[in-house]
Copies of this chain bind each other. A is one copy, B any other.
Amino acid sequence: MSNPPSPVPAPIAAILVIGNEILSGRTQDINVQFLARRLGALGIAVREVRVIPDVADTIIGTVNELRARFDHVFTTGGIGPTHDDITSPCVAEAFGVPWEPHDESMRQLEALFGPGEFNAARRRMATLPRGAVPIPNSVSVAPGFTIGNVHVMAGVPRIMQAMFDALEPSLGRFEPVRMVAVHAERLGEGALAEGLEAIQHAHPSLDLGSYPFERPDGRRGVALVAKGTDQAALETARQALRALIAGLGREPIDGEPAP
């Protein structure tokens, strides 16, 4: 007789958004939510997000801090061909390796642009830290890359998403954190707080939270959410959340099960 294998501890991840355009408010980031959902579905929990400017010392220091603290670091932004795209050489410096032409990527990009159009700026996109493994993308061909536990991706959402599709199979799959949500309209958090805390105490393996919402049509309410890996506990928590709302005279509405 053999025992079942111990579950592998779920990896934890940080997302590092590199770009002045997010910090100035010029651009609304949508990459964090995409990555958080896709990683969550793999059982990889995002535990921190940072947004930092295109400043070399800041990028190098932050990459080194985060790669020491998390199993995976996913960066977005700063790998295009222009002078302000400095993520790739900064990651090389963070790892203490040369930043050098990557032969296969050079060939691919030269074939794409044609020899006459493959200028110095475009060659930057085929220049990688030594030892990096390119992350291909079907949209723009210019690769991201993985070095150590750091995955360097584009900032343009369509390109980043294509890179993540290519990267995903190498990340593994772990016990995903599941979530149940029960929505209550026309109730405030203050009326629900005591009951919610009691349900939290009764389900110590779960993480209970409440999130006020406002629908586009103006209806307001609160989403009560339970998260965890224990499917049976999630189901009893869902029933308890429904009973809490019903006991306050409102109709409990099951929310979407996805993260």
In the complex, whether A259 has a CB less than 8 A from a CB of chain B is yes
How far apart sit A53 and B46, CA to CA, in the bound complex (Å)? 9
Interface majority SS on A: helix, strand, loop or mixed?
mixed
Contact for A37 among B25, B46, B52, B80, CB less than 8 A: B25
Of the four ranges (under 10, 10 to 19, 20 to 34, 35 or more), the interface on chain A belongs to 35 or more
Q: Please report which residues of chain A, range 36-52, place their CB below 8 angstroms from some CB of chain B when the two chains form the complex.
A: 36-37, 40, 45-52
Q: Please report which residues of chain A, range 163-195, place their CB below 8 angstroms from some CB of chain B when the two chains form the complex.
A: 177, 179, 189-190, 192-194
In the complex, whether A122 has a CB less than 8 A from a CB of chain B is yes
How far apart sit A259 and B83, CA to CA, in the bound complex (Å)? 21
Q: Which of A17, A30, A49 has the most CB of B within 10 A?
A: A49
Chain B hits for A45, CB < 8 A: 23-24
Chain B hits for A121, CB < 8 A: 189-190, 193-194, 197
Q: Please report which residues of chain A, range 59-102, place their CB below 8 angstroms from some CB of chain B when the two chains form the complex.
A: 80-84
In the complex, whether A196 has a CB less than 8 A from a CB of chain B is yes
Q: Please report which residues of chain A, range 115-152, place their CB below 8 angstroms from some CB of chain B when the two chains form the complex.
A: 117, 119-122, 124-125
Contact for A194 among B53, B120, B179, B211, CB less than 8 A: B120
Copies in the complex: 2
Contact for A83 among B28, B32, B82, B193, CB less than 8 A: B193
Q: Please report which residues of chain A, range 17-36, place their CB below 8 angstroms from some CB of chain B when the two chains form the complex.
A: 17, 20-30, 32-36
Chain B nearest CB: distance from A27 CB in Å? 7
Write the residues of chain A forming the contact surface with B, with a CB cutoff of 8 angstroms: 17, 20-30, 32-37, 40, 45-54, 80-84, 113, 117, 119-122, 124-125, 156, 158, 177, 179, 189-190, 192-194, 196-197, 200, 207-212, 214, 225, 227, 259
A-B contact pairs, 18 of them (CB 8 A): A20-B227, A22-B36, A23-B46, A23-B48, A24-B36, A24-B259, A25-B37, A25-B46, A27-B211, A32-B51, A47-B52, A80-B210, A82-B192, A82-B193, A82-B210, A83-B193, A122-B193, A158-B214
